[in-house]
Amino acid sequence: MTVRKLNQEERDTWTSALDGWDMADGRDAIEKTFEFGDFVEAWGFMSRVAILAEKADHHPEWFNVYNRVEITLTTHDADPDNGGALSKRDVELANAIDALG
Amino acid sequence: MTVRKLNQEERDTWTSALDGWDMADGRDAIEKTFEFGDFVEAWGFMSRVAILAEKADHHPEWFNVYNRVEITLTTHDADPDNGGALSKRDVELANAIDALG
């Protein structure tokens, strides 16, 4: 299934409504860093995100060290030649991650 | 507990005996990339590594996207001012990860 990249209006309204997600440097992607008390807490969060991602069939690029988790979201299929582009799927996954609480 | 960085002899013998781990660019760290059939397989591997790491109280820097997992190991306490240095802990964790099979 081809996924359409966000148009300018969607981009302005949807991404700016996200809590703490910023545009990634030099990419059409959003990113957010999460910090926890320790590795076990960070891992618990990642496990919940992993299940959300697999259910949505939309997977993050993410980095973890100890209590820190950096998540980057973009949609490869929306612009495969340029490492992806933002689509509705990214906004939905970002909101689902933030709703984990 | 302070962790001693590897001396030259340990470095030559231990790190060269590792399977597929290379020195990270510009850091005293080792890294290896693992590829799996899909995200669920990659996540299963990461879950096993997470438990090994927590038991050893020695945590990786790692990146995942879909079926790929990039692991970097260094010991922060062995050289905190330079982002870590290789210690025996890294060699032990690398071997434990490879032994997951």
CA distance B95 to A48: 28
CA distance A32 to A30: 7
The two structure tokens encoding residue B11:
């470095």
**Using alpha carbons only, how large is chain B's radius of gyration in Å?**
13
The two structure tokens encoding residue A5:
């990249």
Tell me what the pLDDT averaged over chain A comes to. 95
Q: Report pLDDT digits (tens) over A56-90.
A: 999 999 999 999 999 999 999 999 998 899 999 99
Q: Residue B101: its pLDDT value, please?
A: 73
* Domain coordinates in residue numbering, chain A: 29-99
| Nearest chain B residue to A43, by CA | B50
**What is the ipTM for the molecules in this complex?**
0.94
- pLDDT tens by residue, chain B, 101 residues: 578 999 999 998 999 899 999 999 999 999 999 999 999 999 999 999 999 999 999 999 999 999 999 999 999 999 999 989 999 999 999 999 999 97
List residues of chain A with CB under 8 Å from any CB of chain B. 39-40, 43, 47, 50, 53-54, 59-66
User: Which contacts of A19-24 are long-range, i.e. CB under 8 A and separated by 24 or more positions?
Assistant: A19/A98, A20/A98, A21/A73, A21/A94, A24/A72, A24/A74
Cβ distance A39 to B61 less than 8 Å, yes or no, reads no
Q: What is the model's pTM?
A: 0.95
CA distance A16 to A14: 6
Q: B29 to chain A: which residues are within 8 Å by CB?
A: none
| Nearest chain B residue to A48, by CA | B43
Find out whether A75 and A5 touch, Cβ atoms under 8 Å.
yes
Q: Residue A67: its pLDDT value, please?
A: 98
**CATH homologous superfamily for the domain B29-99:** Transcriptional coactivator/pterin dehydratase (3.30.1360.20)
Q: Report pLDDT digits (tens) over A1-46.
A: 578 999 999 998 999 899 999 999 999 999 999 999 999 999 999 9
Query: Per-residue b/e over B12-29, b at no fewer than 16 CB within 10 Å?
Result: eebbeebeebeebeebbb
